[in-house]
């Protein structure tokens, strides 16, 4: 019987997913709840998942499963130790976000450095119309050129952002817990940067790596950007710092809980100079198609006996 391929959360990928180039059966679900995972994967050789969690308990009930193809770079939703124990290979997506995440970071940087949202809101609410002068200068505007960008996490995406920052006339400094050659320590990033952008993985070592003490060491006119993972920054400490004016602004694409069904301290509309976007830095149409193509490449490579992008 041809192997069964099951996509558990098709709605998370807004791109064309081509059929694998081998004889197979295919089943897809737009949404899958936790209680439906085992039932929907029963008899499947390949599971495709983006956000649906695959637990050790589920894996123990799925003896036919051979591959979990994660439709993302992060594999936090997979119990990888249990997958290894069960002989199930886990693969992920790599290298698809080299344009989309850097562009999102740059967009947040310009919006915050130039106070675009406060100015747009003032115009929308008629405040400009009450001005005595045609230039309505109520929020500080700071140039990007000549400023310093500090990059925390200097992997492929961090380097791609650094290239764009240098093209904009910025000085770039970087910190990475693994690759240390030519890089600086975190204290230097905090002290010298006008823009700090985070691109580190979320681990026990990096959780809340930016807290009240770190925020206090930043320049008062600096901004903080996080498009990596919620949890890298102490959200309450960030809210307090923004309200107190200890830093100039922040742009976040990630929160500790997503979606924030129980609310989040960073969603308070009274927090000044904060932009929060709903985990979309990765999601340009072009990037999603690259992701979808690589997803099927990964499955085809595994089924041909030459697996790639293995994480477990």
What is the distance between the alpha carbons of residues 269 and 118, in angstroms, rounded to a whole number? 12
SS3 at position 189: helix
What is the distance between the alpha carbons of residues 96 and 160, in angstroms, rounded to a whole number? 12
Active site residues: 229, 258, 279
Residue 158: Cβ-neighbour burial (10 angstroms; 0-12, 13-18, 19+): buried
User: Using alpha carbons only, what angle is made at residue 270 by residues 108 and 222, rounded to the nearest 5 degrees?
Assistant: 40
What is the distance between the alpha carbons of residues 115 and 112, in angstroms, rounded to a whole number? 5
Straight-line distance from the first to the last Cα atom of the chain, in angstroms, rounded to the nearest whole number: 26
Longest dimension (CA), the chain: 78
Q: Which two tokens stand for residue 253?
A: 């694409």
């Amino acid at each position: 019987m041809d192997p069964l391929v099951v996509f558990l959360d098709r709605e998370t990928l807004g791109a064309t997913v081509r059929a694998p180039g081998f004889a197979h059966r295919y089943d897809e679900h737009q949404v899958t709840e936790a209680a439906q995972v085992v039932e929907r994967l029963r008899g499947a050789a390949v599971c495709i998942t983006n956000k649906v969690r695959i637990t050790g308990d589920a894996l123990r009930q799925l003896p036919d499963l051979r591959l979990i193809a994660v439709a993302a770079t992060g594999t936090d939703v997979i119990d990888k130790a249990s997958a290894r124990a069960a002989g199930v290979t886990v693969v992920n997506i790599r290298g698809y976000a080299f344009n989309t995440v850097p562009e999102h970071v740059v967009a947040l940087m310009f919006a915050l450095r130039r106070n675009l949202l406060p100015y747009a809101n003032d115009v929308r609410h008629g405040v400009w119309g009450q001005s005595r002068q045609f230039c309505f200068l109520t929020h500080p505007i700071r140039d990007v050129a000549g400023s310093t960008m500090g990059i925390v996490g200097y992997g492929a995406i961090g380097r791609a952002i650094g290239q764009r920052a240098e093209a904009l006339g910025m000085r770039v400094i970087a910190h990475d817990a693994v690759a240390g050659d030519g890089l600086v320590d975190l204290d230097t990033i905090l002290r010298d940067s006008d823009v700090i952008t985070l691109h580190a993985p979320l681990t026990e070592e990096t959780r809340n790596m930016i807290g009240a003490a770190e925020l206090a060491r930043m320049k008062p006119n600096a901004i903080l950007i996080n498009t990596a993972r919620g949890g890298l920054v102490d959200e309450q400490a960030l809210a307090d710092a923004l309200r107190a004016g200890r830093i100039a602004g922040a742009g976040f694409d990630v929160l500790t809980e997503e979606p924030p069904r129980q609310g989040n301290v960073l969603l308070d509309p009274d927090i000044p100079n904060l932009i929060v976007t709903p985990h979309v830095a990765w999601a340009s149409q072009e990037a999603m198609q690259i992701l979808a193509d690589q997803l099927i490449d990964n499955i085809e490579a595994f089924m041909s006996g030459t697996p790639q992008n293995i994480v477990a």
